[in-house]
Chain A
Amino acid sequence: MSTLRTEEMTLNMGPQHPSTHGVLRFVIRADGEVMREAIPDVGYLHRSIEKIAEKVGYHGFMPYTDRVDYVCAMFTNQGWGMACERLANIEVPRRGEYCRVIAAEFNRLASHLLTVGLMGMDIGAMTPFLHALREREMINDLIEELCGARLTFNYMRIGGVAWDLPPGWREKAVAYLDHLDPIITEFNALFSYNKICVQRLANVAPISAEEAVNYNLVGPNLRASGVKWDVRRDMPYSVYPEFDFNIPTGSGEWGTVGDSMDRYMMRIREMTESSKILRQALAQIPDGPVLAKVVRNFKPPVGECQVRVESARGDQGWYVVSDGTANPWRVHVRTGSFAAMGMIQKLSRGLMIADLVVLIASLDVIAPEIDR
């Protein structure tokens, strides 16, 4: 009997592929359905944001930070604001901090809703995506009332936020949270605990805690591997110490600790926690100004600093070097997606091609955040 001839295939996936979450490309070396290796090729969305920062000045850079990660732009706003405030030693008024936390946590909800919805779509289920997007639209409406934009907010300023909460907004926000909490349970019943979803995600590409730390995974991806680390609690910034919330970590209930199912469930659990934070913040928000007095010609003293913000995609580091002039000397953003993307080549070895899509979706990679 003659033997079947086998050979290694080289496949191209992307740059425009529906499940690559932006413009990404993979070169896949595969043996049949099993991948030997998937080599990521990034840079398609490189807009030289760090170079732009050196040209436009501190206030002028705020709208550009939205474009670093357009799915959760509040956090990039906040990171840039905090870095400038720390350099120049500016204190944000308490109401301003509360407005920031409220806006940011709503943005986290919106971002996680998109992530869990996309997870459904990537494995072939359109319905969960539509359910999640329906809820996300309402958050976009709320944020639109707050700052006039639905995606690239430009809401925060150095020293606080641009606008106070509009009249009647708090009641609307609480009403939305009352609406959302049962929806999360419903979404779990519809999709998360669905047998197809669990079988598709459990035991796919598990990451051990040691590996996750060594590869610098952050945020929900790191916590899914069992490392209990959240910047909001462990390196507190803004007014987060005033709220009571839990930090969920990966449990491995459906398979291995740190597998795709754990990473997916992390987003669902964090939505519940965000909702908790929001309720407390909306109830406790003090009166007062929302923006500190910051000179128009903002020139922080010579120095450098790094601030860390817990964005929806994890610990985001803003490294800013000032030379005392009106333009920053150097700005660098360390983002969660960049580190996660750097790990895919290693994780892809021995995985099925169809599982690569699950892996990308579970790591919640957003292309503009990789390329900046």
Chain B
Amino acid sequence: METVTIFERLQQRFGDNMLEVALKPPGLFAVIKPEALLDICRYLRDDPDVAMDCLSNQTGVDRKDCVEVVYHLFSYRLRHEAVLKVRLPRESPAVPTVEHIWKSANWMEREIFDLLGVTFDGHSDMRRILMPEDWPGFPLRKDFVEPAEYHGISTVRESPILRLDKKK
């Protein structure tokens, strides 16, 4: 099925919950309300005509006015794909987890939590995954400032080229 047709079906079924459908190639996507996320995801997985059996990619983007969580869905059975987005406030972004719909979401949601600070309600293991447990802030936020040191280890170093110049 064409991605456009999938979005049309979603609009018929979940009319008010679809905020925006962007059909400009190369990136087609639909923005949905966070409250309707679980219903839409369950429908997309269980409807035999859509049958999205795989969450192939889940990631977050820090737009300056909001944080986006992007879901790349894919159907191995019917060989089609669709991209969904939810937009969340930057102060305390939270969205329900889709871990029980697609198992692969478990680690990808942990990564988004770690790097962008989005909390996934109902997630079974909401811990940092890549950064140390006590790292301050969320590195992929646009306003993140790297701390000068971490446990006494400096995070900056003098350029080795400048150091060579000084020796002369």
Given A214-B53, A317-B56, A330-B62, A87:B103 Cβ within 8 A:
no
The answer to whether B139 touches A215 (Cβ under 8 A) is no
Using a CB-CB cutoff of 8 Å, which residues 46-77 of chain B contact chain A? 53-57, 59, 61-62, 70, 72, 76
Given A215-B104, A305-B26, A306-B72, A51:B140 Cβ within 8 A:
yes
Which of A46, A304, A319 lies in contact with B131, CB distance below 8 A?
A46
CA distance A192 to B79 in the complex (A): 34
**Does chain A have a CB within 8 A of B160?**
no
| B 82-95 binary contact with A (CB < 8 Å = 1; else 0) | 01000000000000
Query: How far apart are B98's CB and chain A's nearest CB, in angstroms?
Result: 12
Query: How far apart are A329's CB and chain B's nearest CB, in angstroms?
Result: 7
**Does chain A have a CB within 8 A of B129?**
yes
Closest partner residue, chain B, to A47 (CB atom): B130
**Does chain B have a CB within 8 A of A42?**
yes
Query: How far apart are A233's CB and chain B's nearest CB, in angstroms?
Result: 11
Using a CB-CB cutoff of 8 Å, which residues 197-219 of chain A contact chain B? 211, 213-216
CA distance A249 to B59 in the complex (A): 30
Query: How far apart are A223's CB and chain B's nearest CB, in angstroms?
Result: 11
The answer to whether B61 touches A329 (Cβ under 8 A) is yes
For A315, list chain B residues within 8 Å (CB).
56
Residue among A87, A329, A371 with most chain B CB within 10 A = A329
The answer to whether B107 touches A87 (Cβ under 8 A) is no
The answer to whether A319 touches B106 (Cβ under 8 A) is no
The answer to whether A332 touches B59 (Cβ under 8 A) is yes
Query: How far apart are A121's CB and chain B's nearest CB, in angstroms?
Result: 27
Given A42-B129, A330-B62, A319:B53 Cβ within 8 A:
no
Query: How far apart are A295's CB and chain B's nearest CB, in angstroms?
Result: 19
CA distance A51 to B129 in the complex (A): 16
**Does chain A have a CB within 8 A of B43?**
no
Query: How far apart are A368's CB and chain B's nearest CB, in angstroms?
Result: 12
The answer to whether A342 touches B27 (Cβ under 8 A) is no
Given A216-B102, A330-B61, A334-B56, A319:B72 Cβ within 8 A:
yes
CA distance A371 to B128 in the complex (A): 12
The answer to whether B26 touches A43 (Cβ under 8 A) is no
**Does chain A have a CB within 8 A of B24?**
yes
Given A227-B76, A341-B107, A319:B24 Cβ within 8 A:
no
Query: How far apart are A213's CB and chain B's nearest CB, in angstroms?
Result: 5
Closest partner residue, chain A, to B54 (CB atom): A213
Given A234-B79, A306-B27, A319-B70, A214:B103 Cβ within 8 A:
yes
| A 326-354 binary contact with B (CB < 8 Å = 1; else 0) | 00011010100011011100100000000
Which of B56, B111, B131, B139 lies in contact with A216, CB distance below 8 A?
B56
Interface residues of B (CB under 8 A from A): 24, 26-27, 29, 53-57, 59, 61-62, 70, 72, 76, 79, 83, 102-104, 106-108, 111, 115, 128-132, 139-140
- A sample of 6 inter-chain contacts (CB < 8 A) reads A42-B129, A51-B139, A211-B103, A229-B76, A334-B59, A346-B103
Query: Lowest 4 A-B CB distances belong to which pairs?
Result: A216-B104, A342-B107, A304-B27, A305-B26
Interface residues of A (CB under 8 A from B): 42-43, 46, 48, 50-51, 86-87, 211, 213-216, 227, 229, 234, 303-306, 315, 317, 319, 321, 329-330, 332, 334, 338-339, 341-343, 346, 371-372
Identify 12 new A-B residue pairs, CB closer than 8 A, beyond the known A43-B130, A216-B103, A342-B104.
Answer: A48-B139, A213-B76, A214-B103, A216-B104, A234-B79, A303-B24, A319-B72, A330-B61, A330-B62, A332-B57, A342-B107, A346-B103
